[in-house]
Amino acid sequence: MKIRVEAVTVPKINTPSNLPTAHHEFNEGILSAPAHSSYSSISEHTLPRLHLLDRFEQSPASVTSGSSWPVNLDRLIEVPSSGTYVSHLGLTRDTSISPASPCLFPLPDDDATLLRYFVTDLCSWFDYCDKKRHFLTVAIPAAASDSTLLDAILALSAKHLSLNGKFDRYASDKYQRRCLEKLIPALNDQKSLLDENLFAATIILRLLDEMTGMGSPCAGYLSGRRYLCGATLYKLRQYSEPIGTTQGHILGTHFLVRARQEPASESSLREACLVVGLRQDIFISFTTQRPLRPLAGYCHIDRSFSAADDWTWTHRIIAHSADILNYCHGNKPRGVETWKALNSYTNDWESLKPASFTPIKDAIAEPNKGRILPEKWYLNDCHIAGNQYLGICRILLLSFNPQTPQLGIERKMADREQGENIKDQVRFICGIAISNRQFLPAMFTAGMAIAMCGERFTDPVEQHSLLDILIEAEGHVAWPSLKFQDTMKSYWGI
């Protein structure tokens, strides 16, 4: 049988000559929100600049739809029409960046122990609500031949174990320094922005940075970073803002967004990393009462209520909670109509979500029988997260309702009703967490809710129950900068 092969003419694609270089991206500028974001203008005075920000002229929409951008021919087959989005959550590997590297396995005993610890204990933090479990199925195998990613993994494992007194307290610094010695120069290479392994390494280092912070809650996240690869290796710009005024991830959201804007940057691992980054930012925004950078607009999350899998529904409410946080803590006036629109979306999500988000076991709290919080079992982690983020949305909307009376008896009555409703949402979130302890991120979310709303609880029995959850959550996460239990103990007089 003869096979006829016909030549295919590939049109020449013009590349803009004014694209900013990676070196420029590394030094100057302000991150602008995507054009389609509801919160596209955030003042620098409200949201201080990161260390390595840049002005990005292209919105996600223009990057993915502009004809002048170079595109991956594989994407041409499935590129959607303008104004629509097709999820790219299938497992894909980008092999166009560099040839295969030598295998790094087997590892020395300590390194092997740290890698296995990441697989068994820490990987689930990143794969939470990820249908494809990208860190387990893509990132970890990639570490077999990517020393930058491997060192990021080893640094995080060493730090977490050391904070629990189970590993050398200085080992993490060695791995982090090795990782950054390779990662930072790579940022000067435009092609490196397409490397999905850099995405994974960056998101891991962000979590490591949060673990490193000391002092007040989230100080490590907010303070200007004093070092990166050691002062003798890299001199990076520092700012004079005091602790609590600067979001300080040197390798943070701005890099993820910058790389996401690059042509041919579609990758399921990159998309998964952006969602992880969004969850991290929501946590910090909620606990520090500061707006988020516009990362949600770059995650390509379908925000409609059309038929979709359960993980997409969970991502919708996660992104919506970011919208609400920016409404609550942004620099724009908190208008009634905007609040109503956000509240309407929340109600619609709750009423239209798939039946699988209903708990398979649902028992109310019965303090006289020893059940202080409701018991709610769910099928999967996406159902747990979806319902918990729904509770977070409710807490925020209740707390920042512009229609609440400001004076008179009506204000007192409204405050009382609002307080009880917020406490119900905290009980809901915490009940989900203790009923599904196998999913540690659910405990983190519960701890976040307690830290922000715990002062409303006056019943000593409830206080002790909530304190136990907070202690358990903080024991798992082991972040010195996120220890709220002492604050709550002091406030409650326990």
* Whole-number pLDDT of residue 184: 86
Strands (E), 368-488: 375-377
**380 with 248, same domain?**
no
User: Which percentage of the chain shows pLDDT scores above 90?
Assistant: 53
Confidence of residue 299 (pLDDT cuts 50, 70, 90): confident
Task: With beta carbons less than 8 A apart as the criterion, state whether 360 and 378 touch.
Answer: yes
Q: Give me the chain's average pLDDT, please.
A: 76
* Whole-number pLDDT of residue 422: 98
Confidence of residue 7 (pLDDT cuts 50, 70, 90): very low
**132 with 164, same domain?**
yes
Confidence of residue 406 (pLDDT cuts 50, 70, 90): confident
d(CA 398, CA 392): 10
- Answer whether residue 63 shows pLDDT above 50: no
- Answer whether residue 48 shows pLDDT above 50: no
pLDDT in tens, 258-269: 555 554 345 799
The radius of gyration of the chain's CA atoms, rounded to the nearest angstrom, is 23
Q: DSSP of 151-182, one letter per residue?
A: HHHHHHHHHHHHHTTSS-TTHHHHHHHHHHHH
* Cα separation values, 314 from 28, 301, 372, 459, Å: 35, 10, 27, 33
Boundary (domain end) residue, out of 298, 322, 340: 298
d(CA 3, CA 63): 38
Count of helix runs (H) and strand runs (E) in the chain = 20, 2
Confidence of residue 482 (pLDDT cuts 50, 70, 90): low
- Answer whether residue 81 shows pLDDT above 70: no
**158 with 220, same domain?**
yes
* Whole-number pLDDT of residue 453: 96
Confidence of residue 244 (pLDDT cuts 50, 70, 90): very low
Number of C-alpha atoms within 13 angstroms, CB side, residue 284?
Answer: 32
**356 with 486, same domain?**
yes
Task: With beta carbons less than 8 A apart as the criterion, state whether 349 and 317 touch.
Answer: yes
* Whole-number pLDDT of residue 83: 36
* Cα separation values, 197 from 120, 152, 167, 332, Å: 20, 10, 26, 37
Taking the complete model, does pTM exceed 0.75, yes or no? no
Does residue 106 have a cis bond before it (omega within 30 degrees)? yes
**419 with 465, same domain?**
yes
pLDDT in tens, 321-348: 999 999 999 999 999 999 999 999 999 9
**382 with 266, same domain?**
no
* Whole-number pLDDT of residue 486: 87
**275 with 420, same domain?**
no
* Whole-number pLDDT of residue 114: 98
* Whole-number pLDDT of residue 72: 34
How many domains, the chain? 2
Task: Tell me, yes or no, whether 304 lies in a domain.
Answer: no
Confidence of residue 457 (pLDDT cuts 50, 70, 90): very high
Task: Tell me, yes or no, whether 8 lies in a domain.
Answer: no
Mean pLDDT, residues 438-449 taken together: 93
* Whole-number pLDDT of residue 194: 72
Mean pLDDT, residues 139-163 taken together: 96
Task: Tell me, yes or no, whether 339 lies in a domain.
Answer: yes
**201 with 336, same domain?**
no
- Answer whether residue 2 shows pLDDT above 70: no
CB atoms within 10 A of CB 245: 14
* Whole-number pLDDT of residue 195: 86
**119 with 146, same domain?**
yes
**283 with 161, same domain?**
yes
Judged by average pLDDT, the poorest of 14-18, 141-145, 277-281, 352-356 is 14-18
pLDDT in tens, 269-283: 999 999 999 999 999
**Is the backbone of residue 132 left (phi > 0), alpha (psi -120 to 50) or beta?**
alpha
Task: Tell me, yes or no, whether 9 lies in a domain.
Answer: no
Boundary (domain end) residue, out of 263, 298, 333: 298
Mean pLDDT, residues 160-186 taken together: 92
- Answer whether residue 487 shows pLDDT above 70: yes
Task: Tell me, yes or no, whether 362 lies in a domain.
Answer: yes
d(CA 400, CA 265): 38
**432 compared with 286, residue with greater pLDDT:** 432
Residues of the domain holding 422:
311-492
Judged by average pLDDT, the poorest of 247-251, 348-352, 453-457 is 247-251
User: Which percentage of the chain shows pLDDT scores above 70?
Assistant: 67
pLDDT in tens, 21-42: 333 333 333 233 344 343 333 3
Task: Tell me, yes or no, whether 16 lies in a domain.
Answer: no
* Whole-number pLDDT of residue 100: 63
Task: Tell me, yes or no, whether 469 lies in a domain.
Answer: yes
Q: Which of 98-102, 292-296, 365-369 has the highest mean pLDDT?
A: 365-369
**251 with 385, same domain?**
no
Boundary (domain end) residue, out of 298, 324, 345: 298
Task: Tell me, yes or no, whether 163 lies in a domain.
Answer: yes
Mean pLDDT, residues 54-64 taken together: 35
**47 with 181, same domain?**
yes
